[in-house]
Amino acid sequence: MNWSPVTLDSWLKRQRHALDEVRDLVGTIIQEVRTRGDEALLDYAEKFDGVRPDAVRLDEQERDAAYEKVSPELEEALTEAYTRISKFHELQRREDLWITETEPGISLGVKTTPLTRIGIYVPGGRASYPSTALMCAIPAKVAGVKEVICCTPPPVHPLTLVACDIAGVDEIYLTGGAQAIAAMAYGTKSMAPVEKIVGPGNQYVTAAKMMVRNLVEIDFPAGPSEIAIIADEDARPDFIAADILAQSEHDPLAASILVTTSIRLAKEVGEWIYRLTASAERKAIITQSLERSGYLVVKDLHEAAAASNLIAPEHLAIQVRDPFALLGKIRNAGSIFIGPYAAVACGDYASGTNHVLPTAGNARYYSGLNVAHFTKTSTIQVIDREGLDAIGNIVETIADAEGLSAHAESVRIRRSSPAE
């Protein structure tokens, strides 16, 4: 296990080149699914997941039976999480239609329309992720998406099935990895294609999403997971270490970086990491992840903010004396956790914010999953004769200057005709 200083350049390079190693294999998988459809999905399930389902699509009876295998306490926790996540995402809803008069004779507006059919990816394998089913499906349903399908690797955990049911998922398919992304993009005999694919995954899933986006929209690159923590000398090293371990247990490729003004704190965090890892249930995964992690000592919080903005982390924890003074300097982060008690796990499950977030520096230009991801907008203009006369000279002058005489004439013919 390793906890040592890292340079910003080396950390950034490692995070942003993880996908390059798998593109050739992912390309082969995508082509197989395009060619062989459901049969390829079943073959890949047997090869990668160790089980060959009877069919790609989950039977509705299996979904209903999952409740019998989930304790009432867990079902209640998922329902509580559903309520909190729904409440936050309802606040993001846009008006379906608004139109306002911007000047006499001209009214402008926006019509917001939900997508019709979207696909969510829920990882499996190393753990079950019912929370991801909630995080992906809830904003889609809040947005008004009619059909939400889910792909998840077999054998699917009953918790995931219950979460899908609570969140209103319409169809569930037993396929994971790059092959699931290909199936949602191109469609198969049993699965109609979708308009957009969302959800986190490993480097194979993420690479596949990037490779099919000429055909279908995606949310953003999401995975493997990462955290940056900005901390000063007053921060709690045990809290920081706990957040690092929580991130590390996701995946051997997960990564954590502590950006601190205190070398003493960095070393104390390392001591706590060793202590907590010793008794961790997922020690082997954590140990591998920590090889990709480390700390960066900076001279002040201004430099810390600059480093964080270059990292553009999926999760950013701020544990400093005056966090709101620092918050204004942060430009790039998927989700921000302020204060010692804002454990990243709270956002993963129950605070209400979404845990599907851009990784590998992509928070520089992507936002975390939200209701707007599942809608599209159309601008509206209502123009009467008074409005046309007000802007007609502008339109004709610019159109003629661009050599688009038909554009100009389409306005002149209206202005020269008698007003009705």
State the catalytic residues.
314-315
How many alpha carbons lie under 13 Å from residue 156 in its C-beta half-sphere?
A: 30
Structure tokens at 315: 């999760």
DSSP string, 271-324: HHHHHHHHT-TTHHHHHHHHTT-EEEE-SSHHHHHHHHHHH--SEEEEESSSHH
Contact criterion met (CB below 8 Å) for 321 and 327:
no
Closest CA to 323 of 193, 235, 222: 235
Instruction: Give the separation between CA 356 and CA 321, rounded to whole angstroms.
Output: 28
Structure tokens at 367: 């936002």
Structure tokens at 123: 């990882």
Structure tokens at 415: 């202005």
SS3 at position 97: strand
Instruction: Give the separation between CA 97 and CA 107, rounded to whole angstroms.
Output: 13
Chain centroid to CA 364? 14
Indicate the burial class of 66 (C-beta count within 10 angstroms; 0-12, 13-18, 19 or more).
buried
Question: Which amino acid, one-letter code, is at 61?
Answer: Q
Structure tokens at 258: 């502590």
Instruction: Give the separation between CA 118 and CA 416, rounded to whole angstroms.
Output: 48
Q: Which residues does 308 contact at the CB level (< 8 Å), separation at least 6?
A: 228, 230, 259, 316, 330, 332, 333
Closest CA to 285 of 322, 254, 260, 326: 254
Contact criterion met (CB below 8 Å) for 397 and 220:
no
Structure tokens at 35: 């060619």
Contact criterion met (CB below 8 Å) for 259 and 296:
yes
